[in-house]
Chains A and B, each alone.
Chain A
Amino acid sequence: MNEGIKKLSRKSLEALIQAFEFISSPLEPDEILKIVLEQISNLLDAEAGSIFLINEKRNVLELKVATNLTQDEIEKIKIPIGKGLAGFVAEKDQLVNIHDVTKDERFYSNIDHITGFTTKSILTVPLKTSDKIVGVIQALNKKNGKHFDDEDEILITEFSRLVGLTLEKAWFLSQLIEKQTFEVDLTIASKIQESLLPKNELRIDDVLIKGFYKPARYISGDYFDFFVLNNDQILIVLGDAAGKGAQASLIMASVKAYLSAAIESKLDFITISNNLNKFLAVNTPLDKFITIFLGLINLKENKISYINCGHEPGLIVSENGEVEFLHSNNIIMGVLENFEYLPSEVSFSKNSFLFIYTDGVTEANDKFDNRFGNENLMKVIIENSKTPLKIFQKLPEAIQKFVGEKDQFDDITFIAVLRGENFLSNAHIEE
């Protein structure tokens, strides 16, 4: 038993134990604060009380509960650390017992002006968890015109210690529950995001389009899609939003929504690109942009018109391993609102395939921060140029082998568009 408690009278000790029993049942942190406020009055025979908690980011004490104040009034009261009586106690980590507040210039009278309450005496003590000061507790006006005495100081000190430890446990539990709830939400979000991607490969005549998607976290900023526009034309899309996680995935969900609506409206390829950029420039935060590859495949004319907006190069690979690079030919989207996007055109003959990927492929890194890189990617592509469907197995395997036990750094997404009976007959064999 610590020295302070030994000095308490039996009556005070019993009151302290009872007060602790009230706050020790499993409660939300906010509920604990309300009960503590009630118990301060009971324990110390005080007319009123208040509890401030430290907002570390802003370096201020924020009032959380107080007798006779509405929630709106409570939310307005913030005291810088080091200022006023509460700020002094939080900064110096020491109890202050003032018998007459009119004689102490540290007293912050503004709260009295708001409530109409007249503070006469005040006992303020730091509120601490096991490792730091998290706020202050105040008892105001001892009843019957007395002032707070030595026994009150011990009582509030001991009670504050118990409150600090109880709050610490409650915050920990609250964070744990929040984390678990967040993980459930992320799992749902992940399923929703996957549902926005094509569920199956697409086959039309001698063309097969297939995608691969592996997010680094639950949700990702990568997006791929393919839209059949008519008998001759297919639009393929692969995009990557700057950053990772929820913000990036929401941007990509909006890209999907925009593209679906634009295609439904029969807009042409260039107009779709220009409008998508404008939409992103106006509607996304200033630090967000996307890189995106939009490819319009014309099966009748054996060509691809593409707008590569700051994305990794697309590759057109012949079955004998010759590679043509479709480099970035336009600026990223979401930055220059009125930029006019212009396509380039390349031939896309039978028995060749188009491969597009996000930088998560080439930037996959091992524990020494070595990157998988273009060289390793090209090795897998060329080795499998006769049987490109194998890339869907061989490339993830090669990346996994390269990174070893290191966690996946970025989202990995790629799509391949295979043309020609040779590839399709191989596809049947593999299946």
Chain B
Amino acid sequence: MLEQNQFLVEKQDDICKIQVLPHIASAPLTLKFKDTIDEVLEKHKFKKIIFDLSKVEFVDSSFIGAIVYAYKNLDKLNGKICCVIKSATVNDRFLIPQLDKLFKIFPNMEDAIQYMKSI
């Protein structure tokens, strides 16, 4: 388990869980978030990533951009991402752009892990 101040990176078999700890996930956090994603992708070569946004109550477009970045990178490698979202506001921020057409969104971690294990 690796805590990088604002993110908790945890490995479970071939799945990497990245938990976002701050309540507001916007531009000031995005750069570090992208660095974390890069590390998980390039250094640890994970092909299954769960973004745990259960503590997040607001996301802006730059932060969503970082998740799209992970999706695009992994899609090329036949990898998968999914998100755990609890806040209705955050959920809307993913559903309005129809991001659920790109990757799955779950209300809890158990469902997300079960999905990742099934693919």
Which residues on A are within 8 Å of B, measured CB to CB? 240-244, 285-289, 291, 309-312, 327-328, 330-332, 335-336, 359, 363, 369, 371, 410
Contacts and interface: CB of A to CB of B under 8 A. Distances in A.
B61 A243 contact: yes
Given A240-B61, A287-B65, A289-B68, A310 B34 contact: no
Contact of B101 (A286, A331, A369): A331
Contact of A244 (B27, B58, B97): B27
Given A286-B68, A286-B72, A331-B99, 11 more contacts: A241-B61, A243-B65, A287-B68, A289-B65, A310-B99, A311-B96, A328-B98, A331-B101, A331-B102, A332-B99, A336-B101
Interface residues of B, number: 22
A287 B97 contact: no
A242 B61 CA distance: 5
A309 B96 CA distance: 9
A241 B97 CA distance: 12
Which applies to chain A's interface (DSSP): helix, strand, loop or mixed? Answer: loop
Contacts of B99: 310, 331-332
B29 to A, nearest CB: 13
Given A310-B97, A331-B97, A336 B102 contact: yes
A335 B102 contact: yes
B64 to A, nearest CB: 7
B60 interface: yes
Contacts of B97: 289, 291, 309-310, 328, 331-332
A285 B65 CA distance: 10
The residue among A242, A285, A289 with the most chain B CB atoms within 10 A of its own CB is A242
Nearest to B34: A287
Contacts of A328: 96-98
21 contacts: A240-B61, A242-B68, A243-B27, A285-B69, A286-B69, A286-B72, A287-B62, A287-B65, A287-B68, A287-B69, A289-B68, A291-B97, A331-B101, A331-B102, A332-B99, A335-B68, A336-B102, A363-B60, A369-B24, A369-B58, A410-B60
Contacts of B73: 286
A312 B96 contact: yes
Contacts of B58: 369, 371
Interface in B24-59: 24, 27, 30, 34, 58
Nearest to A221: B61
B66 interface: yes
A310 B96 contact: yes
Contact of B65 (A288, A336, A371): A288
A312 B61 CA distance: 13
Contacts of A286: 68-69, 72-73
Contacts of A330: 98
B98 A242 contact: no
Interface string B91-107: 00000111101100000
A397 B22 CA distance: 31
A244 B96 CA distance: 19
A309 B98 CA distance: 8
A244 B64 CA distance: 13
A288 B65 CA distance: 6
A311 B61 CA distance: 11
A100 B97 CA distance: 68
Contact of A242 (B34, B64, B71, B102): B64
A418 B97 CA distance: 27
Could you say which of A244, A287, A291, A371 has the most chain B C-beta atoms within 10 Å of its C-beta?
A: A287
Given A286-B68, A335-B72, A369-B24, A310 B62 contact: no
A311 B95 CA distance: 10
Contacts of A311: 96
A331 B64 CA distance: 14
Contact of A287 (B60, B66, B102): B66
Closest 8 CB pairs of A and B: A310-B97, A287-B69, A242-B65, A287-B65, A242-B61, A243-B62, A331-B98, A332-B97
Nearest to A334: B68
B108 to A, nearest CB: 25
Nearest to B72: A286
